[in-house]
Amino acid sequence: MTYAEAVVTNVFLSQFFRKYGLMLISTLMFSMSAGAQPSADALADFLLRLKQLQSLESSFEQTTRDVSGRILQQMNGTLTVAKPGKMRWQTNAPFEQLVVSDGKLIWIYDMDLEQVTIRDMDQRIQETPALLLSGHAADVEKSFVVTEQRAGSDLIFQLVPKDPSQLFESLEFHYQGKNLKRMMIFDAAGQVTDISFSAASVNNAVDPAAFIFDVPEGVDVIDGRHGI
């Protein structure tokens, strides 16, 4: 990727984060070894896994590809989520960005742009799918059609939005046993990004300071909260 392409891609992702809070995008479909299970059973199984997850801290590696499979961007970082509705998503250089939610507000800090966007946390999980992991799962049945499939040792839950106007076409959660190993979001433009988790800590105590964001001195602030 050239420097110009990287800048364009980074600006696109920044705009994407500001609008949707956090979109986890991922890679090409697995060749499924079995057909999808009935969605009612898949929904119940997926909701049970979300219910059992109280907190998660993990490193991740992310690769975004275009419709032809060409790599557009690669990055790594850390993800921390905790119920109810708390999240910290941080990517490392050269595409540094920090997204923090305290359950009520979301701060999106673009280090390169020296800009912070603040907005109310959208409770609609089809708008902020990462919050599925932090406790906002009550509307899954209303918002998505859920199917369950297997690919080798992976159990894959695919969530397709019932609202066709969404920016993404589907989400996938890949599990090995009880452990979430990968998240996938297929976007409507054909881009796919693979986010693989490693060194995960599940249901352990999380430092509350992870979900507190203090606006750095000297950065521009875009306040998108309702009524502001």
pLDDT per position as a tens digit, 111-157: 989 999 998 876 444 455 555 666 556 667 777 889 999 888 899 99
Structure-block tokens of residue 170: 């589907």
Per-residue pLDDT, 77: 93
Asked if the structure places residue 227 within a domain, the reply is no
- Provide the residue range defining the domain that includes 9: 3-216
Asked if the structure places residue 77 within a domain, the reply is yes
Asked if the structure places residue 204 within a domain, the reply is yes
DSSP three-state, residue 51: helix
Task: Name the percent of the chain lying above pLDDT 70.
Answer: 74
Residue among 115, 116, 114, 112 nearest 7 (CA): 112
The neighbouring-strand residues paired with 55 are 82
Gyration radius of the chain over CA positions: 17
**pTM across the whole model:** 0.75
Asked if the structure places residue 226 within a domain, the reply is no
Q: How far apart are CA 216 and CA 136, in angstroms?
A: 29
Least confident of 62-66, 162-166, 167-171, 193-197: 162-166
Asked if the structure places residue 221 within a domain, the reply is no
Asked if the structure places residue 225 within a domain, the reply is no
Element (H, E) at 41: helix 39-52
pLDDT reading at 162 higher than 60: yes
| Count of structural domains within the chain | 1
Asked if the structure places residue 208 within a domain, the reply is yes
Sheet holding 168-176, edge to edge: 144-151, 154-161, 168-176, 179-187, 192-202, 55-65, 71-82, 86-91, 97-102, 105-110, 115-120, 220-223
Q: How far apart are CA 115 and CA 108, in angstroms?
A: 8
Asked if the structure places residue 60 within a domain, the reply is yes
Q: How confident is the model at residue 193 (pLDDT cuts 50, 70, 90)?
A: confident
CATH code of the domain in which 193 resides: 2.50.20.10
Per-residue pLDDT, 37: 55
Q: What does DSSP assign to residue 17?
A: H
Element (H, E) at 179: strand 179-187
